[in-house]
Amino acid sequence: MEEQSPNSQSVNTQNPKHISSYFNFTDPNNPYRIENGDHTSLVLVTELLTAENYITWSRAMRRVLRAKNKLGFISGDVVRPIDEEDPLFEMWERCNDMVVSWIQNAVSIDIKHTLAFVDDAQMVWTELKDRLTQQNGPRIFQLRRHWANLRQDRDSVSTYFGNLKTLWDEMIVYSPMLLCTCGQSKVLNERYQRDYVIQFLMGLNDQYTNVRDQIMLIEPLPSINKLVNLLMLPSKQVTEISQGKKDHTVNIVTHKDIHLKVATRLGMVSP
């Protein structure tokens, strides 16, 4: 193979930049730039990879690697120079080792042991993807069952909604909506949101039965964010009641007031 001169194109073919640009370490877009805070012991995500959470873990890892401009090392866009005499060779190995270390630091012990002898960041990433994305079916089943059975119970409306939203967001990751220009994506999105609102209402405590029945008569249903916002203040009042901060008489009045406030703000009754 013909030896490349320092003034020729790098074998790193993902970018037509002149090879000298990769030695400009003040350029934040340089994939070979290593920040002062970057080191091999760095843990990039708070949740370690297990056999059940590859989708959410990979999204978090890709987000951080993109922010550090190292995404190309797992996608294969930043290619390993073939010639060890290439000026970029040592820089590529240094950055690749950094990314491999970051990935190993972000996985569970059982998984980490299986990566001990894989030295290429792209190969590590591909191996994890091929091995763990096969677990999607059981995870989707688990999410949907948990989502369908989730109830408010002793939680505030805010906490209950947060738990529901976490499950919802992960389900969307596993089953993303298809985008098109025919208008069907809008219809599907409306159906998604309607299911979201109905599931939220189904899980509310019995004290919200009346207001829930009133909301279900609205067409179209209010958005989930608007609905949660409307129920937040009443939720605080109900929590105070359940903690004995108000007597029984005030309790009855407050529950009626809750329903009236929500119905008024949703336009179901005149103020």
Task: Answer whether residue 122 shows pLDDT above 90.
Answer: yes
Q: Is residue 80 part of a domain?
A: yes
pLDDT of residue 115: 95
Bin 33: left if φ > 0, else alpha if -120 < ψ < 50, else beta. Answer: beta
Q: How far apart are CA 73 and CA 47, in angstroms?
A: 22
Q: Is residue 30 part of a domain?
A: yes
- Give the end of a domain, one of 83, 101, 134: 134
- Give the end of a domain, one of 74, 102, 134: 134
Average pLDDT over residues 108-120: 95
pLDDT band at 259 (very low <50, low <70, confident <90, very high): low
CA dist 34 → 18, 37, 155, 226, 231 (Å): 19, 8, 45, 44, 48
Q: How far apart are CA 227 and CA 68, in angstroms?
A: 38
Domain residues for the domain of 183 are 150-265
**26: exposed, middle or buried (Cβ count in 10 Å: 0-12, 13-18, 19+):** exposed
φ/ψ (deg, to 5) at 183: 95, -10
128 in the same domain as 172? no
190: number of Cβ within 10 Å: 12
99 in the same domain as 180? no
pLDDT of residue 1: 39
Q: Is residue 215 part of a domain?
A: yes
Average pLDDT over residues 24-51: 90
| Greater model confidence, 8 or 37 | 37
Q: How far is CA 245 from the centre of its chain?
A: 39
157 in the same domain as 98? no
* Winning range, highest mean pLDDT, from 52-56, 77-81, 228-232: 77-81
Q: Is residue 13 part of a domain?
A: no
0.75 surpassed by pTM: no
177 in the same domain as 115? no
Q: How far apart are CA 96 and CA 103, in angstroms?
A: 11
Task: Answer whether residue 98 shows pLDDT above 90.
Answer: yes
* Overall domain count for the chain: 2
